[in-house]
Chains A and B, each alone.
Chain A
Amino acid sequence: MLVDIAFVALGVVAVLSGAAVFVVDSMARATYALAVSFVAVGVQVLFLQQSYVGVVVILMMVMEMAVMAVYMVMFMGMNPALMPMSMVHSNRTAVATAVLTFLLLAAGILVVDWPARRGSPPPEVTEALGEALMGPQMLVMAVISPVMVATIVAGVVLAAPRTRYDRFGDDLRQRPPDDPQPGGVGR
């Protein structure tokens, strides 16, 4: 009973802090509100007996929100805790879409005759996940790995201020390269 109440309370916290992201007057507070929402969901995942995933969600999202707060300061160029802001467009359309989506999802959730649980959880959930990742599900992680490497490369290419075209010209044949700080060995 106590667990049920805590689960629902955490859900309310997650939804309200999620909504606060788009209501509060500063981007710093929005970031913290999003972190609270993620931590609440992470604890809910812990309630659902998935210790590893829950802890990963909490730790990862707290760090991610810290990085996001830095980006807020970088881009907004102002004290992000003090500056009121309201930067929205198509507000009515967005509200209507969100409400309709919730009603549609809620109707589906309540109408569907959910099947009974199949099987029972393994005694050691985290151990079972590790064995799955190292065994029959290894291909999944093996596919994700190159995607992550590609993301690192793409992220650096997108965010880099100067590319090889700036250095070597449009045909990549310009020598020596046009560098703001020339190389130290006469190149």
Chain B
Amino acid sequence: MTLEAALLISAAIFSVGLYGAISQQVVVMVMMGLELMINAVILAAAACWWFLAPGPTGQVLLMVVIAAMTLEMAMGFAVAVLLHRARQTDMTDMATDLSR
């Protein structure tokens, strides 16, 4: 159990999440990609805490990351509901107004 091993696992999870966030068309699946990326951040932050500076303040950063994940989920679901209500769709390709 080394810092490098934990960070490599974290990097792999982050990359998989990035793939999902870029490639998926369904809003909820995009959110799953983002969740995976935050999952990787949790692991990386926990590993850095344990292997580099195991003081109590490092754990507070983890609590902030978990809170950020909760907020992302809540807002993501709200946007998904809004999109479904307004456009009768759950696809990102149907909500590209700002890209024009």
A residues in contact (CB < 8 Å) with B: 3-4, 7-8, 11-12, 14-15, 18-19, 21-22, 27, 30-31, 34, 37-38, 41, 44-45, 47-50, 52-54, 56-57, 60, 64, 67-68, 71-72, 75-76, 87-91, 93-95, 97-99, 101-102, 105-106, 109-110, 114-115, 117-122, 125, 128-129, 131-133, 136-137, 140-141, 144, 147-148, 151-152, 154-156, 158-159, 161
Contacts and interface: CB of A to CB of B under 8 A. Distances in A.
A127 B59 CA distance: 11
The prevalent SS among residues of B at the interface is: helix
A25 to B, nearest CB: 13
30 contacts: A14-B43, A21-B32, A27-B29, A34-B36, A38-B35, A41-B13, A41-B39, A41-B43, A50-B62, A52-B59, A57-B66, A67-B77, A75-B26, A75-B28, A90-B22, A94-B22, A98-B15, A102-B11, A102-B14, A114-B4, A114-B52, A117-B54, A121-B50, A121-B54, A122-B54, A128-B59, A132-B60, A136-B57, A148-B71, A152-B74
A121 B66 CA distance: 21
Contacts, number: 231
Contact of A37 (B23, B36, B81): B36
